[in-house]
């Protein structure tokens, strides 16, 4: 992993922007303006604490009894939930503004736009639902295991041990490890290397979707993912195509991060460790000119050693051509516009402005993820003034009385006071509503809180084998829980989550059918 000094050298543009800002400080030492710093010795009376539901202790490994933002009964929408489909529409559609045409796209330095557009014709024969075509396409990486296989057994098998894995002969018996609007995810097992991959079968083109744009989008997602060489970003190997059947092959990580957070077993130091890992991954992306734009709990997985991996780069955008430059390629660079991501994780400028700095939007999303890990609840449903919880957050600091006569703390401290004291200042600056005042990832990595986090990572990381010498932090161990274990231990919660996913899946199908009509 790149050192902080290495990342700092790559972030000269961010430092220059900070220096030019009228409200800038000397960020080489990350001097924080005193007027913004919440006092670590501040105390609050009982009237300051909002009515809330405490985190339930789950054995000795539970988090602290930090309070939630608002009561579950009054704000059921604040509970943690998966987002199978991300927001993906453009500001222009809702504001009567012309969307930029393809002729207004930016191009990498020195690469002029082609005078003749390349026309791609849609395949006449569909292979999307052909299971034989699927297995043949991925055969060089292994077989799709039967759904009777326990993948954890394969992961824990020594490399020199030969194990017989039955292959799924039909789509109905194939083991599926994930589903969403973007497609289905299957495991692939290479018996020669005793290695597990994950393959994502990308969604079918909609009937009203331009084939050229659809194909270009999928290939662009792969190019971006394949370029990422960092232990906290999932390793992506290949994009396979057979007519309209597209497959992305990547590393397999057995643990779903959303499930781990929902289980309520994370200790404070585990949360810090995961936070530092995901920040390292995002900082690396920013250092090469890329922003993720869909950071959320759902888009993180964890390997068997507790190393977090960020996934799903379908919304990623190139925001700095000089950092991203690719030798010998004519890479078109699109402007950062449109609402990309899931409501609770969105930065306010994403839903407000036609154009925005996607790297700063990533910083906001990381802070929301941190709050979700600590509180196990969303701070608000969507960053709009119409959302009461967000409205309280952006209000002038002080107190207000609601319609029931209850006093409520308003302003940023309404949320910040519920976080561990050592992290408050950092999260405050990551959640600055004005992007010009918000920390960049360089600023985040330079703070005292961040640098003191003891975290698990690979030393001498090898991108080709996705492994290295595991360095474990001495102040915690990771509580890794599979979806199956969570279902067995929390049957009621798992059933509710399954029902919510089914409702959301039906909604996605209905919307896609309507769009295709």
Which residues make up each annotated binding site? 200
Q: Are 310 and 300 in contact (CB under 8 A)?
A: yes
Q: Residues near 297 by Cβ (< 8 Å), separated by ≥ 6?
A: 80, 257, 258, 261, 369, 372, 373
Cα(350)–Cα(344) distance, rounded to whole angstroms? 12
Q: What is the rounded CA–CA span in Å between residue 8 and residue 443?
A: 9
- The rounded distance, in Å, linking the Cα atoms of 397 and 485 is 43
The answer to whether 225 and 236 have CB atoms below 8 angstroms apart is yes
Taking the C-alpha atoms of residue 33 and residue 35, their distance in angstroms, rounded to an integer, is 6
- Among 244, 251, 294, 298, which one carries the catalytic annotation? 294
Strands (E), 32-84: none
Beta bridge partners of 3: none
What are the binding residues for ATP?
200
On the CB side of 274, CA atoms within 13 Å amount to 33
294 an active-site residue?
yes
The pair of three-digit structure tokens given for residue 19, joined into one six-digit string:
């220096």
- Opening angle at CA 477, ends 483 and 427, nearest 5: 85
> Distance between CA 184 and CA 202 in Å, rounded?
7
State the sign of the Cα–Cα–Cα–Cα dihedral 323, 329, 330, 333: negative
Round to whole Å and give the CA distance between 429 and 427. 5
Rounded to 5 degrees, φ, ψ at 256 are: -85, 120
Half-sphere exposure of 487 (CA within 13 A, CB side): 8
Residues with catalytic function: 294
């Amino acid at each position: 992993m790149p050192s902080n000094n290495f990342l700092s050298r790559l972030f000269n543009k961010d430092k220059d922007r900070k220096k030019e800002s009228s409200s800038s400080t000397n960020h080489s030492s990350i001097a924080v303006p005193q007027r913004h710093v919440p006092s670590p010795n501040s105390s609050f009376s009982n009237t300051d604490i909002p009515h809330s539901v405490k985190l339930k202790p789950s054995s000795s490994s539970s988090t602290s009894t930090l309070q939630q933002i608002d009561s579950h009964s009054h704000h059921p929408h604040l509970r943690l939930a998966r987002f199978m489909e991300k927001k993906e529409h453009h500001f222009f559609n809702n504001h009567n503004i012309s969307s930029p045409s393809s002729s207004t796209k930016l191009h990498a330095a020195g690469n002029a736009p082609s005078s003749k557009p390349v026309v791609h014709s849609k395949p006449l024969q569909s292979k999307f639902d052909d299971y034989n075509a699927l297995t043949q396409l991925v055969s060089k990486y292994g077989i799709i295991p039967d759904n009777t296989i326990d993948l954890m057994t394969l992961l824990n098998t020594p490399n020199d041990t030969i194990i017989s894995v039955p292959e799924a002969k039909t789509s109905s018996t194939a083991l599926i490890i994930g589903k969403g609007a973007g497609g289905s995810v299957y495991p692939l097992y290479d018996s020669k290397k005793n290695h597990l991959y994950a393959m994502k079968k990308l969604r079918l083109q909609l009937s009203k979707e331009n084939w050229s744009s659809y194909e270009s989008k999928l290939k662009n997602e792969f190019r971006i993912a394949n370029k990422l060489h960092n232990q906290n970003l999932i390793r992506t190997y290949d994009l396979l195509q057979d007519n309209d059947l597209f497959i992305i092959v990547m590393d397999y990580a057995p643990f779903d991060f959303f499930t781990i957070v929902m289980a309520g077993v994370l200790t404070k130091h585990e949360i810090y460790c995961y936070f530092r890992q995901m920040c390292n991954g995002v900082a690396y992306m920013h250092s090469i000119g890329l922003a993720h734009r869909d950071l959320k709990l759902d888009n993180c997985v964890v390997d068997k050693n507790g190393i977090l991996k960020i996934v799903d780069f379908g919304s990623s955008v190139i925001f700095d051509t000089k950092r991203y430059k690719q030798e010998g390629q004519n890479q078109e660079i699109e402007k950062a516009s449109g609402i990309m991501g899931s409501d609770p994780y969105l930065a306010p400028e994403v839903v407000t402005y036609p154009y925005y700095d996607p790297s700063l939007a990533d910083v906001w999303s990381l802070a929301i993820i941190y709050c979700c890990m600590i509180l196990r609840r969303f701070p608000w449903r969507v960053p709009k003034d119409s959302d009461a919880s967000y409205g309280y957050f952006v209000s002038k600091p002080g107190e207000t009385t609601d319609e029931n006569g209850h006093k409520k703390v308003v302003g940023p401290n309404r949320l910040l006071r519920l976080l561990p004291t050592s992290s408050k200042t950092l999260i405050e600056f990551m959640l600055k509503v004005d992007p010009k005042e918000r920390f960049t990832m360089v600023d985040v990595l330079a703070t005292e809180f961040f640098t003191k986090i003891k975290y698990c990572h690979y030393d001498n990381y090898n991108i080709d084998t996705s492994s290295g010498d595991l360095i474990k932090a001495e102040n915690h161990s990771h509580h890794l829980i599979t979806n199956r274990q969570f279902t067995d231990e929390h049957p009621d919660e798992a059933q509710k989550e399954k029902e919510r996913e089914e409702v959301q899946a039906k909604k996605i199908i209905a919307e896609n059918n309507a769009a295709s009509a």
